[in-house]
Structure 1
Amino acid sequence: MPLNPAVANRSTGVVPPGRPGGFELALLDRGADVLQTTAPLARFDVYVVGFHCVKGEPDLQMEAHHFCKVVNADMLQCVLFDGNTRDANLIGIEYIVSEALYGTLPEEERAAWHPHNHEVFSGELVAPGLPVAIETELMGHLVNSYGKTWHTWHSTAMGEHPAQPLPLGDPMLMWSFNREGEVDEALRRDRNAAMHTDPEPRKASRAKYLDRAHPQQGVGTMRDAFSGTSPTPGVVDAQDGRP
């Protein structure tokens, strides 16, 4: 999917080690382009950028570029990259479900699904290239939704942790941020400056959905792991009633 020319390029990950593809592999790739189907990838045309942290590890934070397919009114499927250029690395997957589908999950399964209201109402989740008014309509569909995200490769540096040259170890369950000030300010500032994604007009535009916001499970899961944070309007934990 070609990006809107107005969308800033964002190439953030490592270049994996390895030899150039070579003549034979290039021919195979060209043959695949002509003869094989890419139908399952055709509808991954919703592009949003947000921030994730490893569940239980507040310092392990990274920027994630989501390319999503709208399955139906209650589910999206997303493939995650560390940038939006042709050489971006595939780093994980995310499934997004509505509040209604989340309610059908077994109780023990729900612990793997993070809430999304902070990402919406803080303005931290963005859809680069869309006018704010259209982006706001998209975000309205994510109010009260939940995501299950696995990262298989931490290809960008996270705080003091260097980028991994290859996808090492087990997949890691990621979590959402749920209060203002939880995202590392340098990470947040860098993305916003590079991609021209000022959160303030987004907050103001999305405030019209505040009356739709319901308390969500998981808002307080990592609350005590951060300091110096403040509540986000519309974000309340369903279990203890606290922001």
Structure 2
Amino acid sequence: MYLKAVKINSNQAVLEDYPFSLPIIKNLLHSNQPLPFSKPITFLAGENGSGKSTLLEGIALALGMNPEGGTKNFNFSTYDSHSELHEHLTLVRQGVLPKTMFFLRAESYYNLASAVQDLALDAFYGNRTLHELSHGEGVLSIVTNRFTNNGLYLLDEPESGLSVSRQMTLLKEIITLSQQNCQFIIATHSPVLLAATQATVYQIKQGTLQTVNYHETDAYQDMKLFIDDPERMLYYLLDD
């Protein structure tokens, strides 16, 4: 593992302000324990607003990545919305540097695609401008063309814009790369991606971080409930 753990420290942070007001950030800080990354793939799962993307963003920035995505060499900025969490993180590294790093986040994919085009880097992303592709096609193009072995990759909801079958394609790419000395830290809602082997799943629930297996994740259980009996689920959803 290139990144073995991360620890949150106060360093004179205003604990009542965002992001320290988030229950998960507050609990990680007060636990005074590092969050370990012991497997090639680590998932951060949880509901919208649980703090998983904020935590992933903080790790990315602490690694020197651009807040809106890309490699360490990207420095474009469209809107400054990132938190100060990265200033209060201590990274525990293995000592071996990854050959490459990349931060891919769904919410700023368009901005990343524009930066790739402006910098004339299309040759490294499939020889087509990412703006000519759908969001989902563009994400897969980045992973298949830009991600190589011996890399550290942070992905924030990469399933956005992908059909179920394309999520399976992405899952295959992630597993294959993880077997080529790559490390992934992924924030996701996808029950498809969460099925990855050799993965640690941290689920954020009620402000706490729990290590769970695949079948214990809310994403899997909620999807299974719906798929097993959609008519019954619709009945409950629409029952006033």
TM range (shorter): under 0.3
TM-score by length of 1: 0.25
The higher relative CO (CA closer than 8 Å, separation ≥ 6) is in: 2
Task: Give 1 or 2: higher helix fraction.
Answer: 2
